[in-house]
Amino acid sequence: MFAIFGKKLRLNTVSRTDSLVSAVDNKVYFSVDIAMPCSQIPRALNSVLPFTIRVIKAQKIKTKPIPKAKEYEYLVFNGYILNPLYLPFVWQIKQPLNLNRMKQAAKLLEGKHNFKAFSHKIGQSKKYNKHIFKITVAKRKISVWQNSQIPVISFKFKGDGFLYKMIRILVGTLVDVGLGKIDPQTMPNILSAKQRKFAGQYSQMFCSIPQPLILKR
């Protein structure tokens, strides 16, 4: 920012993500008194930003934006042979996943709950209370290059906010449900226990990998 505007600026973001997690519609805002038109700001900033960050649009705002909801999507490839071109975009699970079982579990995780069992760090209990409006588990296909379409299982989460690594722990737990390692009807028990160790095999030692997770809006 100093290279473009000649001064240090305080940056604020509407949302943040874990390391290696991407975002397609995040928003950053700052206050600066310059004559540069908004239409020229993206090109100026992109000239000094790392190639992994792109500014798409800049505009003036009157008030600080307050997000009412956040939406994430996580992609899983369920099969033995994965096109290596898609390795950066999906988490590969070779064993068959039961979609209906994962849908049942996801439905029980919707609503207002204390999500301490699905959190990575210990903090004050009141911070664990989140409202997940909807979780969608569905099959779809993705394609980046022509004639290279692959099937995936999409996990979409929409809520008022999420804890550190919470979505990746939720995905890991739903995968365990799909593998038959956890009964989908035990989700309320896991929530009430408020202990991470009950939140699935994939979630106890590590979270699901970060790259397939993206902040949609």
| pLDDT tens-place string over residues 76-108 | 999 999 988 888 889 999 999 999 999 999 999
Tokens 């992994």 sit on residue:
52
Of the CA atoms within 13 Å of residue 187, those in its CB half-sphere come to: 21
pTM of this structure: 0.81
Residues assigned a catalytic role:
18
Is residue 191 within a helix (H) or strand (E), and if so which, with residue range? Answer: helix 187-193
Task: Identify which has the larger pLDDT, 31 or 193.
Answer: 193
Asked if the model's pLDDT at residue 195 lies above 70, the reply is yes
Q: Are 60 and 16 in contact (CB under 8 A)?
A: no
DSSP 207: P
- pLDDT tens sequence across 140-191: 998 877 778 899 999 999 998 888 888 889 999 999 999 999 999 999 999 9
Q: Please enumerate, as own/partner, the contacts of 139-148 that have beta carbons within 8 Å and a separation of 24 or more.
A: 139/99, 142/75, 142/86, 142/89, 144/85, 144/86, 144/89, 145/85, 148/83, 148/85, 148/86
Residue 59: pLDDT band by 50, 70, 90 thresholds?
confident
- Per 3-state DSSP, what percentage of the chain is helix, strand, and coil (rounded to 5)? 30, 25, 50
Sequence-separated (6 or more) residues with CB below 8 Å from residue 210: 18, 19, 20, 21, 168
Instruction: Give the pLDDT of residue 23.
Output: 67
- Band (pLDDT 50/70/90 cuts) for residue 204 is very low
User: What local confidence, expressed as pLDDT, does residue 121 receive?
Assistant: 67
Q: What is the DSSP letter of 213?
A: E
∠ CA(103), CA(108), CA(113), 5° rounding?
140
Give percent above pLDDT 90 in the chain: 38
Q: Does domain 70-215 have CATH number 3.30.70.660?
A: yes
Sequence ranges of the domains in the chain? 1-66, 70-215
Between CA 122 and CA 164 the distance in angstroms is 10
